[in-house]
A and B are shown apart, each in its own frame.
Chain A
């Protein structure tokens, strides 16, 4: 598969559109990604490159703790998942951040066509994070997982 991107003529800044061309990953995608990721939309690629780029891009938005993921299979199978680790050191202590799994579940709802519910849950989640009052430790706060969860639930009750 191929990647199309608009290039500038300057060797230094991949800014303005002058010509569009086939790009290989080795050339300039790495550099522009960290300089201006907003220029990218959907990227499709083979296995290894995807392994690398998907983690790289997760890093840009805050890491595996907030990144959703979906796996599409044959026969209509689809499995959505959080891609962070099991965090054994905080397991069972009500300290975990459920955002990655929640956003993956939102992705799942969209895949199923349940856009209304997806939007509602996603908005409640993002608003809670934006508000910065009830955040788990990794997000910079000191709330419990259950408190963060309750805050999101409360927002949705308030939406109704």
Chain B
């Protein structure tokens, strides 16, 4: 009865939460039924798309309780920029978060909010599943790939210096630890999500030591996951092939800059940042799912925003938590609404309001029951 369901739930969860395989899931929250998730609505259209997601989750009867927090950077003791303590506390407790778009204030010295979050929770993997959306046509069909980007080091270490006037050097930092971590995460993800192959994207022919180290760690990880096929491909070749036939790709793992580029490229293939989900995996079991589009201040508060990206990120979150049934239900309702093409927000080619689009999805789920 209930005990069996709990055991099945638990084992399902352990199977899926790959990154935290060395951690013990918080049994009290998962098995009890209702999981509390930190919600960061964000700025601009953030609050309204967050409301849309909450409404849809409610209609889906997803066992999620939302704990809203703000992450505007504040100056802590010693003048160091940090996220508000209550936001950190909430994430540390709940482990799982959903985040809308954040604007970065232009004030001098103010750090990037996303960078701050990344450093606070050691969000080392940025994961973007890119799947073609029926009803939202792009020049590319049947895209179904995942980009996994190392998000802590590489070309974005921020280490630059002036040699002499007019000559600048920038350090690309690649470490064994970070490379091993991301490589193993990629294989674990592939295994847990029934993906057939992992491709390491690199330029080790040119950057022999840095990309060479990264590639070596991927090869070593591949040895531990013989059930997943491993290939290697130069970044420029990947880009060339990606725009000609993206269906040949599955899971791609790569260092920071290449991931930055490829993840946006792939988002473009399926329709852009407005429809692409994203997840950030951190240390200690933390995972923050987020929409990666901007705050769209020009349409904020006008009930015009498209909540799809945040919704699909929330669906990704449900899968990460092992709640596959609810994930499938919400995702299906969303995709069916888009495929139907009757109620679509402006960016998707329609002229419905955000609330109407949201309601259409909720209605579909009611009809499913």
Contact = CB atoms under 8 A, between A and B. Distances in A.
Contacts of A33: 265, 268
B261 interface: yes
Interface in A6-37: 9-13, 25-26, 28, 30-35
A31 B273 contact: yes
A30 B265 CA distance: 5
Interface in B54-78: none
B239 A56 contact: yes
A60 interface: yes
B243 A12 contact: no
Given A9-B299, A55-B240, A34 B269 contact: yes
Contacts of B140: 34
A118 B271 CA distance: 38
B272 A35 contact: yes
Contact of B241 (A10, A35, A59): A59
Interface string B300-330: 0000001000000000000000000000000
Contacts of B139: 34-35
Contact of B264 (A13, A31, A60): A31
B298 interface: yes
B236 interface: yes
B240 A25 contact: no
A34 B273 contact: no
Interface in B129-161: 138-140
Contacts of A141: none
Contacts of A31: 264-265, 267-268, 272-273
A64 interface: yes
Interface residues of B, number: 39
B237 A35 contact: no
Contacts of B298: 9-10
Contact of B236 (A9, A13, A32, A51): A51
Q: Range of interface residues on chain A?
A: 20 to 34
A8 B140 CA distance: 22
Contacts of B347: 10, 12-13
B275 interface: yes
A58 interface: yes
B240 A59 contact: yes
A60 B243 CA distance: 6
Name the residue in B240, B265, B348 with the highest tally of chain A Cβ atoms < 10 Å from its Cβ: B240
A52 interface: yes
A28 B243 contact: no
Nearest to B305: A11
Nearest to B246: A34
Interface in B220-278: 235-237, 239-244, 257, 260-262, 264-265, 267-269, 271-275
A50 B203 CA distance: 14
Interface of B: 45, 101, 138-140, 203, 235-237, 239-244, 257, 260-262, 264-265, 267-269, 271-275, 293-296, 298-299, 306, 346-348
29 contacts: A9-B296, A10-B298, A10-B346, A11-B101, A11-B273, A11-B295, A12-B273, A12-B274, A12-B348, A25-B261, A26-B264, A30-B262, A31-B272, A32-B268, A34-B138, A34-B269, A35-B272, A48-B203, A51-B235, A52-B235, A52-B236, A52-B239, A54-B236, A56-B240, A56-B242, A59-B242, A60-B243, A62-B244, A63-B244
